[in-house]
């Protein structure tokens, strides 16, 4: 049997030709801002790194009362365990960073406009899940830092009146962070979140395959003869893979040169260590709540902060319904200003946050 007859045999039964035609259907526009097209693929790459290193950590990690001891073992006893754990932690940060870059590039290229609204919605949901991955994974080593980060993080929903304490207690598995908390965060981190994330990611990728990459409005406005594009398979894919290789090297370098540390085991009676602060991607909302709390003291400040933050996220989420027209009209300009405001707000609050804990 030749390769051709084997291919035909399988094709007849599984319809490979249709799949290949579907894969070849997508083209990528070529223009001065094509660089931003890599960031979705990079997010995907870091997610795949998370899957591989996550499974490797799962081989020795034990949730519950032994959590800290098992992470200590991974970090200091198992060969290269420190490296795998460092890669998992670094790749988590880089994944969220890539998703953010991807999101803002989509925002300013106005790639959320018709017919790509679902790409925007599913992307936002994926970012929300990625951040939840980060929050739940942070507790798993059960050292001092993860204990206090989770404690503070859960105080935010707990401050919502009436339902807040109920929600916080359900998430925590009791009024205090304990081995019950780490056990349920573990279930969330390795079963529940992947089970939601993976199909959503499949949907997101399918949409991109279906609609192709969006070009910014300035390029869309050009006559078709002046627009250039290349097929995704194999031309752009090859560049994507080269980017992944670069990303892998940077990741390996970061993990090897700046390995993730493991603090003292958590102790419910120990005071919070000095200079404790949330991960960089939580710094901005954390600082915003603090700033609003300073203006509006007490319960009202906390509630106002949460409310303001929620309204901002909802507006951001609903932008495809506001900025709909294909031209660069007034609404498009307002959306651009909104995007700039969000970027400046995020950068400024993050900087203030790091300044105040320095």
Partner 1 sequence: MIPREEIAMTEQNHLEAAAVEPGEKNTRRAFLVAAGTAGLAYTAALAYPIYRYLASPEEMAMNAAAVTEVTLKDAQTLPLGSVLMFKFGSSPALLIHHEDGRWISMTAVCTHLGCTVQYEPQADRIHCACHGGVYNAYTGANVSGPPPKPLKLFKVAVNQADVKVSRV
- Pick the closest to residue 40 from 207, 272, 164, 273 (CA basis): 207
Residue range at the interface with partner 1 (CB under 8 A); choices 81-89, 92-100, 208-216, 324-332: 81-89
- Pick the closest to residue 54 from 142, 125, 153, 140 (CA basis): 140
Q: How far apart are CA 173 and CA 253, in angstroms?
A: 38
For partner 1, the closer CB: 167 or 246? 246
Using CB under 8 A, which residues numbered 109 to 148 contact partner 1? none
Place of tokens 């902060």: 305
- Pick the closest to residue 86 from 96, 74, 77 (CA basis): 74
- Pick the closest to residue 105 from 36, 54, 163, 20 (CA basis): 36
Residue range at the interface with partner 1 (CB under 8 A); choices 74-82, 95-103, 108-116, 306-314: 74-82
Q: Judged by CB under 8 A, which of 3, 4, 32, 79 binds partner 1? A: 79
Is residue 44 within 8 A of residue 82, CB to CB? The reply is: no
Q: How far apart are CA 106 and CA 124, in angstroms?
A: 11
Indicate whether 249 belongs to the interface with partner 1 (CB under 8 A). Answer: yes
Using CB under 8 A, which residues numbered 2 to 61 contact partner 1? 56, 59
In this structure, how many other beta carbons lie within 10 angstroms of the beta carbon of residue 328?
A: 15
231 has which bridge partners?
27
Using CB under 8 A, which residues numbered 207 to 246 contact partner 1? 238-239, 242, 245-246
Q: How far apart are CA 148 and CA 192, in angstroms?
A: 24
For partner 1, the closer CB: 249 or 356? 249
Q: Judged by CB under 8 A, which of 28, 42, 84, 145 binds partner 1? A: 84
Min dist. Cβ of residue 84 to partner 1 (A): 6
Indicate whether 253 belongs to the interface with partner 1 (CB under 8 A). Answer: no
For partner 1, the closer CB: 77 or 351? 77
Min dist. Cβ of residue 252 to partner 1 (A): 9
Residues near partner 1 (CB under 8 A): 56, 59, 77-81, 83-84, 238-239, 242, 245-246, 249
């Amino acid at each position: 049997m030749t390769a051709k007859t084997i291919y035909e045999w399988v094709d007849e039964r599984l319809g490979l030709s249709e799949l290949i035609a579907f894969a070849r259907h997508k083209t990528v526009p070529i223009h001065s801002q094509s660089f931003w097209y890599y960031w979705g693929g990079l997010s995907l790459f870091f997610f795949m790194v998370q899957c591989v290193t996550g499974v490797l950590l799962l081989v020795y990690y034990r949730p519950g009362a032994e959590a800290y001891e098992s992470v200590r073992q991974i970090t200091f006893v198992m060969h290269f365990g420190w490296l795998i754990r460092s890669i998992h932690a670094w790749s988590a940060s880089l994944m969220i960073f890539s998703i953010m870059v991807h999101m803002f590039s989509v925002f300013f290229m106005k790639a959320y406009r018709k017919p790509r609204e679902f790409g925007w919605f599913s992307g936002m949901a994926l970012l929300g899940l990625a951040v939840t991955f980060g929050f739940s994974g942070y507790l798993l080593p059960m050292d001092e830092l993860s204990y206090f980060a989770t404690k503070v993080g859960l105080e935010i929903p707990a401050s919502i009146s009436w339902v807040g304490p109920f929600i916080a207690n359900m998430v925590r598995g009791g009024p205090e962070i304990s081995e019950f908390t780490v056990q349920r965060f573990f279930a969330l981190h390795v079963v529940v979140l992947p089970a939601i994330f993976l199909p959503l990611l499949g949907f997101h990728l399918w949409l991109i395959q279906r609609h192709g990459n969006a070009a910014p409005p300035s390029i869309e406005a050009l006559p078709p003869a002046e627009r250039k594009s290349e097929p995704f398979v194999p031309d752009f894919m090859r560049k994507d893979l080269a980017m992944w290789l670069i990303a892998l090297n940077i990741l390996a370098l970061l993990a090897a040169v700046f390995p993730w540390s493991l603090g003292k085991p958590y102790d419910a009676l120990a005071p919070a260590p000095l200079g404790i602060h949330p991960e960089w991607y939580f710094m901005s909302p954390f600082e915003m709540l603090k700033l609003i709390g300073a203006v509006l003291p007490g319960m009202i400040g906390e509630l106002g902060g949460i409310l303001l933050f929620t309204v901002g996220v909802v507006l951001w989420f609903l932008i495809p319904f506001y900025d709909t027209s294909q031209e660069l009209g007034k609404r498009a300009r307002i959306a651009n200003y909104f995007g700039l405001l969000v970027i400046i707000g995020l950068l400024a609050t993050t900087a203030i946050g790091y300044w105040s804990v320095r």
